[in-house]
Structure 1
């Protein structure tokens, strides 16, 4: 099937870039509100990206998506990632997003409770977000992936290997990835078991000495493009 493409990709993707910029500000603002109230913030940091044109085209051809269905069927043209310290934080973030009135949750996929056969874990939310343009309001879809730092480490490595093997991992690599995924989740479980102790220590370190915790958003901003463009799983 021949798939028609937008003639001006920059113009087409502009609302998605605007959505990413706005959503990063709003989600990072939530983090700062927790910090201002001296509360544990479930959001460690936020990154975002607009899917590269070549990735959009490849996915449209692979899934036989026509241009008129592109914005409906490609839910991750705008993609955000929220990193959390603890698994419990993930579900708190999910609840916070559900409660917002400036975005609508249209789909949720819990790959933490329902872990993928590969070992992949993350919580995916697809939202409908209104962007104000010079031509009026445009509602578009964006995907938010919420995961712990250890889940993200595993997913980043798996994504890199996927480029080499195109998804057809040798059996040995596949088994090692599965074991690594379980080890990463065991780390999350161990950290959750001493979560209260960790949070108390972090508060003492950050506020007892009159110091702010390191704000990672700025330094990680430079790595967004290479760290957030994972294919939909």
Structure 2
């Protein structure tokens, strides 16, 4: 049983570690809010949302201490903050590879975020086939008595990349990281297959976007023509120019009025 002094010391330590971890939790909350805003913006203003899903996690104090021991760092709050950069993690899942770079560019453009490091495992996959874009991002958090600059590791990947990484992690956990060479080879082949699928879906996505743009151009051209008794007429270019300037108006009764510019 602890004596009163030990109890008091334990309470102080518990409060300090709770306060330390809460800062990272608040940082994740702030980052998730930013992502939610982007999702809502795309939902209301665009016909396509590049963000499929988000998932956040905090490292446990036990995992943090183990990583400090493994890397040979001192055990202190300052040591943790300076040396462990993935205490707070956010994973963003997308449909297409181009979405990954689109989202990363959006995060770069937010003036209150500071990009500390980027590791592109898509352009340069890991030897085991792992692909993802990793960003270390510093975000300011305003506490009651101070401002904290908190580091978050953001991973952005496609659905196929995430599926492969999740299964690879489960297999390694099951084998306690002693995976037979034959399975390692199959995992690498599966990663290559996932990469080929991503590339194929990216190509299809790009071609469909091109078809949509062509259809929009055709629709615009159709608006510039009228058909009477199977005879087709193009609207006068001068009238189209007036429409572009807002000089042509249609009132509630359907009457067309043209406001001609003043004579020179």
TM-score (norm 1): 0.79
CA distance in structure 1 between the partners assigned to 2:42 and 2:210 by the alignment: 15
C-alpha deviations, 1:130-188, integer Å up to 9, x for none?
A: 11111210001110000001100111111112223343321011011101101111111
C-alpha deviations, 1:48-93, integer Å up to 9, x for none?
A: 1111222212211211222232112111101001111000110111
CA distance in structure 1 between the partners assigned to 2:193 and 2:24 by the alignment: 36
Work out which of the residue numbers 117, 125, 130 in structure 1 matches 2:135.
Answer: 125
- Offset of residue 198 of structure 1: 6.0
CA distance in structure 2 between the partners assigned to 1:199 and 1:22 by the alignment: 33
CA distance in structure 2 between the partners assigned to 1:176 and 1:198 by the alignment: 33
CA distance in structure 1 between the partners assigned to 2:127 and 2:13 by the alignment: 39
- Offset of residue 200 of structure 1: 9.4
Instruction: Tell me, yes or no, if structure 1 residue 70 matches structure 2 residue 80.
Output: yes
Secondary structure of the structure 1 residue equivalent to 2:13: coil
Secondary structure of the structure 1 residue equivalent to 2:51: coil
Unaligned runs of 5+ in 1: 1-5, 202-233
Task: Count residues with an aligned counterpart.
Answer: 196
Work out which of the residue numbers 121, 125, 133 in structure 2 matches 1:115.
Answer: 125
Contact 1:17–1:50 (8 Å) recurs in 2 = yes
**Which structure has the higher relative contact order (CA within 8 Å, separation 6+)?**
1
When the two chains are superposed, the root-mean-square deviation of aligned CA atoms in Å is 1.9
Instruction: Tell me, yes or no, if structure 1 residue 45 matches structure 2 residue 53.
Output: yes
CA distance in structure 2 between the partners assigned to 1:63 and 1:164 by the alignment: 25
Contact 1:131–1:137 (8 Å) recurs in 2 = yes
CA distance in structure 2 between the partners assigned to 1:176 and 1:95 by the alignment: 34
- Offset of residue 193 of structure 1: 1.1
Unaligned runs of 5+ in 2: 1-11, 212-264
**Bigger Rg, structure 1 or 2:** 2
CA distance in structure 2 between the partners assigned to 1:55 and 1:199 by the alignment: 45
Secondary structure of the structure 2 residue equivalent to 1:112: coil
